[in-house]
Structure 1
Amino acid sequence: MKIKSVTLHFIAMDLLTPFVTSYGTVKKREMILMEAENTDGVVGWGEVVAFSTPWYTEETIQTCFHMLNQFLIPALFKQAIEHPGDIRAIFAPIKRNHMAKAAIDCAVWDMFSKKEGKSLATLIGGTRERIEAGVVIGIDQIPNMLAHIERHLKEGYKRFKVKIKPGYDYELIRQIRKEYPSIPLMADANSAYTLKDIEHLKCLDEFRLMMIEQPLGSDDIVDHATLQRECDTPICLDESIVSYDDARKAIELGSCQIINIKIGRVGGLTEAKRIHDLCLDQEVDLWVGGMLESGVSRAHNIALASLPGFTIPGDISASARYWERDVIIPEVMVEDGYIHVPSGCGIGFDIDRDFLRDITYETRTYVNPHLG
């Protein structure tokens, strides 16, 4: 399979409500949608899920564009692809830049599954026809966060994640547990704490949380092992896990009991599947994280979450949770707390071309110069 062309669609979408974490607030979401076409005319879609500023990882929309433009797309054009797993070897000489790589990896997986006449979920080994949906509540006034939980509970969501930060944690969780003593609840710290906070974090054990996600440094697995030994609450690693080797080392050190996989963070579906297989073998629980994505990435997340090792509902909400209108047709829907895993070829969704034109502020098309 040879790639004939790649088109980058630079888009911007307004969130229905600002999303607040310990890092800051996101109101408008910039993304790059990647449209790749092979020489047989089969099209696959991927998405750059980096943010406009480097608050989550070192990558941004602009750094990803630079890498795609100067290095990754030219490397992609030079070689024939027998299987999407080949992308990992093609890009191996290029260090990190996982979110830029993931956009191509996912587009090729979508293209390949369409070429094979199979759904993406089936092709990567998915076993579920539907997945449980979880929801994230950003930092807000406690009454507002309680109201969000109530609304999403009525919508059937199966797991609730709340963002926390120093000074806005214990009392927040206490009041949530007072109102909702039995809901599946977890807290996401986005690296806001240090080991100096260990006694304070241990106080959260009383609330029977499913997990505390990434409480310590975004690149740490050593201090998390110390924290996990002291806390009864399971530690989940997010930002620290950007590769199979990171996951292997974290498991060996006892740094966590749970791992969150974000396709963009680990460089694509190929690496995500490798981490899944490792954790399944080591009996480490998994769930799929979210990045405030468009429906393109959401579709890839749904396929990933259909794999057997994902035992915890992921951050995969309905399109309407974040967007007035999504770029896919049909939009992702949550019914009684579940999302249907598409059975159609590829990601199982069509692109809303009219809406895509409305939200695109720049387009770049690259044609493979190595084709006769």
Structure 2
Amino acid sequence: MHTPTESPDATGAGTHDLRHHGDAEVRGRGRDLTDLAVNVRAGTPPAWLQERIAGSLGTLGAYPDDREAREAVAARHELPPERVLLTAGAAEAFVLIARALPARRPYVVHPQFTEPEAALRAAGHEVGRVLLRAADDFRLDPADVPDEADLVVVGNPTNPTSVLHPAAVLERLARPGRTLVVDEAFMDAVPGEREALCGRTDIPGLVVLRSLTKTWGLAGLRIGYVAADPETIRALEEAQPLWPVSSPALAAAEACVEPRALAEAAGAADRIVVDRAHLVAGLREFSEVRVVEPAEGPFVLIRLDGAAEIRERLRMLGFAARRGDTFPGLGDGWLRLAVRDRTTTNRFLQALDLALQALTVVGR
């Protein structure tokens, strides 16, 4: 069955709060919550990375020079530096794309991270939506994207569904005259980065976004990058303000693409597989919970009746979960859960059991 497309109202987002993000679930709550709402790896940044960042503070009197960091990031993907642009996190890249790249009919594949659509709307674009369906496990058929789309945004692995689309499927979205934006912010959490397109130079119109904030716990530092053809990189760079990436963030970028860092990230990705399997197995024990599978990212998406009330009860029990109703294509019956270690997961599963029991008692 064909996936529906949607053009939300011109004022913004219809019923969805596109500017709501997981950090809102834990900010200013007046209690110490175990954070399952934000997809930053727990226990990061590691001490060695903190030391590298701290070591850069002596250079703060000089304007940032991104050449060495840019070369290091490019080399990590076997690309020339002119195919890479460093940004203040992937979020800045979405703004640059919205402002600098021509698009008459941009489409965003949902449910996914909402910032790309928000940035496109803020730049004055009318945005179409391709809504993937729970009945299809949120899988994408390239035929679902209208031919008129001259800019397409898709996440891989996708936040919040944790779906990893095959590279061959995404390649079929590319065509002359179309910009294909693939958000790979969580790809380094996938063992072997299978299905990755970053580093590919044979796909027309391909723009790949990466983030270093998730695996390395650098959300407060803001560092990411774009890989694309040199002409696109120049257009994006011209739309950037001067010195958009700070010296500490540049130091972090260099450090995070060194061989030992890549090895550490690969080990973390392997651990996520084990920890995620433990979480999913525990969730399967609840008849009230449906898990979107197979999950391939550092988070899982679940569906259950009374999700909004369950989320509040979980908060009372000390756990923050990400609400799903702000994602186009989802409703108030969905929650996203970050993958954590087994001990944290066991505590969460006990809390979920209590929350579900309390909801059952109230419903009687």
Q: What TM-score, normalized to structure 1?
A: 0.33
Q: What TM-score, normalized to structure 2?
A: 0.34
Bigger fraction of residues in strand? 1
